[in-house]
Amino acid sequence: MAGTKRHIDQVLKNKLGNHQASITEADWDAFDAFQQKKKPSRKGLFYLGAAALFIALLSTLLFLNRNTSVDSPKAANQPRNPAPQTEQGNQLATKPSLSEKESVSNPTEESEINANNNEEETSANTAQSTDHSSPGNTLPSADNETGADIPSTTPPSTQVLGTQNIESTPAAIERNEEVKLSRIAPRVLRIPASQLGRFEHAYIAAYAPKEDKDSNKNLLKFVKKLPPMGPCIAVGLVYGFGTPQLSLTPGDPEQEHKDYAATEKGTSSRSNVFRFFGQYEYRIKAGLEFGAGLQFSSVTQVRKYSFENRNIPFIGPDDKILLYIRIPSNQSVDPTVFESRQNIYSATVPLTVGYAHAIGSKLRIGARVQGNMGLNWSKAYTNLNPKSLAETPSAGNSNPLNIGYGGGVYGEYFYLSKWSLRGSFDWTAQNKQYKSGNSYNLQNRFYEIRFSLVRYL
For another protein, which is the closer residue by CB, 16 or 325?
16
Smallest gap from residue 384 Cβ to another protein (A): 11
CA distances from 132 to 11, 135, 139, 140, 292 (A): 109, 7, 11, 14, 49
Smallest gap from residue 10 Cβ to another protein (A): 8
Q: Which residues contact 222 (CB under 8 A, 6 or more apart)?
A: 160, 196, 199, 200, 202, 204, 206
- Helices 40-68 and 25-38, packing angle to 10 deg: 10
Q: Which of residues 310-369 bind another protein (CB under 8 A)?
A: 318-319
Interface stretch with another protein, choices 152-160, 176-184, 222-230, 384-392 (CB under 8 A): 384-392
Kindly tell me which residue out of 257, 275, 387, 432 binds another protein, with binding defined by CB under 8 A.
387
Q: Establish if 34 lies at the interface with another protein (CB under 8 A).
A: yes
Q: Establish if 81 lies at the interface with another protein (CB under 8 A).
A: no
Angle CA(17)–CA(313)–CA(381) in degrees, nearest 5? Answer: 90
**In terms of Cα–Cα distance, which of 344, 356, 360, 348 is closest to 432?**
344
Interface stretch with another protein, choices 24-32, 156-164, 257-265, 448-456 (CB under 8 A): 24-32
Count the neighbouring beta carbons within 10 Å of the beta carbon of residue 86.
11
For another protein, which is the closer residue by CB, 129 or 388?
388
CA atoms within 13 A on the CB side of 304: 7
For another protein, which is the closer residue by CB, 267 or 436?
436
For another protein, which is the closer residue by CB, 2 or 148?
2
| Number of residues lying near another protein (CB under 8 A) | 45
Q: Establish if 35 lies at the interface with another protein (CB under 8 A).
A: yes
**In terms of Cα–Cα distance, which of 372, 375, 357, 383 is closest to 446?**
372
Smallest gap from residue 422 Cβ to another protein (A): 38
Q: Which H, E and C letters describe 261-324, residue by residue?
A: HHHCCCCEEEEEEEEEEEEEEEECHHHEEEEEEEEEEEEEEEEEEEECCCEEEEECCCCCEEEE
Smallest gap from residue 316 Cβ to another protein (A): 12
Interface stretch with another protein, choices 115-123, 211-219, 282-290, 394-402 (CB under 8 A): 394-402
What single string gives the DSSP state of each residue in 12-50? HHHHHTT------HHHHHHHHHHHHHHTHHHHHHHHHHH
Kindly tell me which residue out of 250, 278, 335, 396 binds another protein, with binding defined by CB under 8 A.
396
- Asked if 409 contacts 353 with a C-beta cutoff of 8 angstroms, the reply is no
Q: Which of residues 406-445 bind another protein (CB under 8 A)?
A: 435-436, 438-439
**In terms of Cα–Cα distance, which of 437, 446, 434 is closest to 342?**
434
Count the neighbouring beta carbons within 10 Å of the beta carbon of residue 110.
15
Q: Mask 227-256, x = binds another protein (CB under 8 A)?
A: ----------------------------x-
For another protein, which is the closer residue by CB, 190 or 303?
303
Return d(Cα 344, Cα 378) in angstroms, integer. 4
Q: Establish if 3 lies at the interface with another protein (CB under 8 A).
A: yes
Smallest gap from residue 314 Cβ to another protein (A): 16
Kindly tell me which residue out of 14, 67, 245, 306 binds another protein, with binding defined by CB under 8 A.
14
For another protein, which is the closer residue by CB, 284 or 375?
375
Q: Establish if 17 lies at the interface with another protein (CB under 8 A).
A: yes
- Asked if 446 contacts 438 with a C-beta cutoff of 8 angstroms, the reply is no
- Asked if 85 contacts 189 with a C-beta cutoff of 8 angstroms, the reply is no
Q: Mask 167-186, x = binds another protein (CB under 8 A)?
A: --------------------
Q: Which residues contact 41 (CB under 8 A, 6 or more apart)?
A: none
Smallest gap from residue 35 Cβ to another protein (A): 6
Q: Establish if 12 lies at the interface with another protein (CB under 8 A).
A: yes
Residues that bind another protein (CB under 8 A): 2-9, 11-23, 27-28, 30-32, 34-35, 38-39, 42, 255, 318-319, 385-387, 392, 394, 396-397, 435-436, 438-439
